Structure 1
Amino acid sequence: MSDHVIRLSRLTAEREQEICDATIRLVCEQGYDALTMDAVAARTKCSKATLYRQWTSKPRLVAVALRHTRPVLTADIDTGSLAGDLRELVRRMGTESNRDVDLMRGLSQAAVNNPDLREALREVLIDPDTDALGAMLRRAVWRGELATDSAAAPFLTYALVGPMIGRRILDDRDADAEFMTRYLEAVILPALDLT
């Protein structure tokens, strides 16, 4: 074993955020398939070696960048009731995340043909939010607000994602906070027996 220890430099939080922001801008400009680590390195004045050392691959960099630039984090929400949690979640989704609809749609299409991207998005983005939503539902069961055998609970993720994409496709409009709140009150809460 060598007497020399190679120290990997850690990026500051500000520098990491700067690289993540630039990565998402490049994905929006070029699309995922055309994005290269060389382009990210050039845009951020960072070495490609640093990018690979920090994120290991393009799919992982894009997934982490998306996580860093997403304003809605389900794990941050705990109002004390499931209805309150869901109202806060859809308010945030409608207020802050519509800018991500086109980006997510493009990345979803790319992930169909790219298993590495699909796995990175699942690991970094989808699974943590799905786990947080599951924790939200378990708290509701523990508090007695939600039946343990709720037929609607397993479909909650789909019920939340659907209107974000559907409104853009069907009405060419964002699913804003007002729309998401009306949808929650009319469809999701009744399905969960929370009205």
Structure 2
Amino acid sequence: MATEVHKSPSLPPYPQMILKAIEALNEENGSNKSSISKYMESTYGDLPAGHSQLLSDHLSRMKDSGQLVFWKNNYSKPNPNAPPRRGRGRPPKPKDPLQPRPVYPARPRGRPPKDPNAPPTPAKVKMSSGSGKPRGRPRKMARPTGGLGASTTTSATTTTATGRPRGRPPKVKPALNEVSVQQ
């Protein structure tokens, strides 16, 4: 059993009521959905039960077909003399209708496979930056081996060229003194 919306014979079609409401309200930037609805309720009175949904559907259809212009949450009639309103962002490049767009075949996903018959490519030559220094972080210097300033290894820690062991010094334990007990 389908529900039917009974239209009273005195009600004109929704698009006609919407256009009449926008003309009657005559607001500078157009009329919003609630003001259009209030005008329709006050003028026609006996509206169908799903009035708000019907109004929304007809407004969106009229907007898509170009009968209404939607700008800043308001609906208005399109002005044929007004320049088109620009949206946000960079405008698209003009398309030349005489120049056909090239059609390329769809590329497969992923990296293309190497050609096994291709000759090997020569090694790339590194270019200097002009300052004489190589780019990036400098390499670590090799540790010196032997000689006067060489580091020596002890059983627990490694001593550096200054003669001090690396890391935190060991905790010093106080020397134990013998206590003589007199009787």
Q: TM-score, normalised by structure 2?
A: 0.29
Q: Which has the higher contact order (CA 8 A, sep 6+)?
A: 1
Q: TM-score, normalised by structure 1?
A: 0.28
Which of the two has higher C-alpha Rg? 2
Q: Which has the higher helix share?
A: 1
